[in-house]
Amino acid sequence: MKVIITGGSGFLGSQLATKILNKGTLTGPSGKQEPVEQMVLIDAHFPVPQTDERVQEITGDISDRDVIESAIDGATEVSVFHLASMVSGECEERYDDAIRVNLDGGRNVFDAARAIEGRPRVVFASSIACFGGAAMPTPVSDLAKRTPQTTYGMTKAICELLVNDHSRKGHFDGRSARLPTVIIRPGKPNAAASSWASGMFREPLNGEPCNLPVRRDQSHPMTGFRTVIDSFIALHEINESQLGDDRAYGLPAHCVTPNLAEQVLAEIAGEKNLTLGPIDDAFDPRIQGIVDNWPTAADGSRAVELGLPEPPPLKQIVEQYLEAFVQS
């Protein structure tokens, strides 16, 4: 079978690709485990190319339908993981591009999947940014009304509904993983309004200062990167008969504040004899305003009941980051 991953060179996409390649099989259209013989990664650039001979890398934009079609290339036994997206801060600043990439690009992916014979499985990476505003309960669950207060969240909510409707009509077998903020992303901060969530761990662990743009008591739902990768695969593997009418499943998450992050970092630094960089207050009302319209806690019980994994303790998530990206 062929596996297509949009956003395939990103933080999550690249790790998902490696995990699937190592696993070697996925559930195919037949409902049985089938070998992954081909994998196509789509992204705007590939700073670290994959070396596995099963992998083809396509440099392009998902808003170009031809890019998606070239990835499918007539294959009939296909699974699609749609992860490509502009991030929240970019979407607020560049509305037209957000519509072109997140919404029109999503439609391109879904329409191309619809045209594949054999009703492929499609896993979409959504976000708890689908929720927001006065209608948002605490904690937010999958039963809450979608009232996004950001352009990013709006595009994710619409794509969730498209996945549901394509699945209802039998075009493909879709399911959406509604992600909390995923930590800890390596490298430099990006344009996401939630970038501070990784930065308040990453920079201190690198011995560098972190400029914190939100309140120190700001609660935010977070989960570990390994749990998300396992969740993508687990959601793909679940039999369609177990899914409800709403195929978007909010992943379980920890409620994390900068104050809690400092406590966990101090504990790890003491155990590993690390010298931490400081977390400095650098309040940004624009970032705080966006975060204020996001959930402060998430109820992932529906995903857990389906069999998706829960995140390990926060300390273990930090240790997983050190193991994967810092320590040799």
User: Residue 74: left if φ>0, alpha if ψ -120 to 50, beta else—which one?
Assistant: left
Does any domain span residue 101?
yes
Does any domain span residue 209?
no
Does pLDDT of 198 surpass 80? Answer: yes
Residue with tokens 């990439």: 101
Predicted model pTM: 0.96
Does any domain span residue 289?
no
> pLDDT (tens digit, 9 = 90+) per residue, 271-326?
999 999 999 999 999 999 999 989 999 999 999 999 999 999 999 999 999 999 98
Does pLDDT of 328 surpass 60? Answer: no
Does any domain span residue 123?
yes
Over range 171-177, report the average pLDDT.
98
> pLDDT (tens digit, 9 = 90+) per residue, 219-273?
999 999 999 999 999 999 999 999 989 999 999 999 999 999 999 999 999 999 9
Judge whether 8 and 17 are in contact, CB under 8 Å.
yes
> pLDDT (tens digit, 9 = 90+) per residue, 22-56?
999 999 988 899 999 999 999 999 998 889 999 99
Judge whether 321 counts as a catalytic residue: no
Q: What are the CA-CA distances from residue 210 to residues 22, 181, 199, 202 (Å)? A: 35, 18, 6, 8
Contacts of 185 (CB under 8 A, 6+ apart): 11, 195, 198, 202, 225
**327 pLDDT tier (thresholds 50, 70, 90):** low
Report the SS3 class of residue 249. strand
DSSP string covering 180-236: -EEE---SS--S-TTHHHHHHHHHHHTT--EEE-S-TT--EEEEEHHHHHHHHHHHH
Over range 175-199, report the average pLDDT.
94
Judge whether 306 and 150 are in contact, CB under 8 Å.
no
Does any domain span residue 282?
no
Q: Which of the residue ranges 137-141, 188-192, 198-202 would you say has the lowest mean pLDDT?
A: 188-192
Catalytic member of 95, 152, 249, 321: 152
Does any domain span residue 127?
yes
Structural domain that includes position 244: 2-180+222-252+298-311
* CA-based nearest residue to 322, from 254, 269, 279, 270: 269
> pLDDT (tens digit, 9 = 90+) per residue, 77-119?
999 999 999 999 899 999 999 999 999 999 999 999 999 988 9
Compute the distance between CA of residue 258 and CA of residue 203 in angstroms, rounded to an integer: 13
Does any domain span residue 29?
yes
Domain at 98, CATH number? 3.40.50.720
Domain count for the chain, please give it: 1
Residue 242 tokens read as: 């177990």
Task: Report the relative pairing of strands 55-59 and 38-43 from DSSP bridges.
Answer: parallel
- H or E segment and range at residue 238: none
Compute the distance between CA of residue 203 and CA of residue 255 in angstroms, rounded to an integer: 20
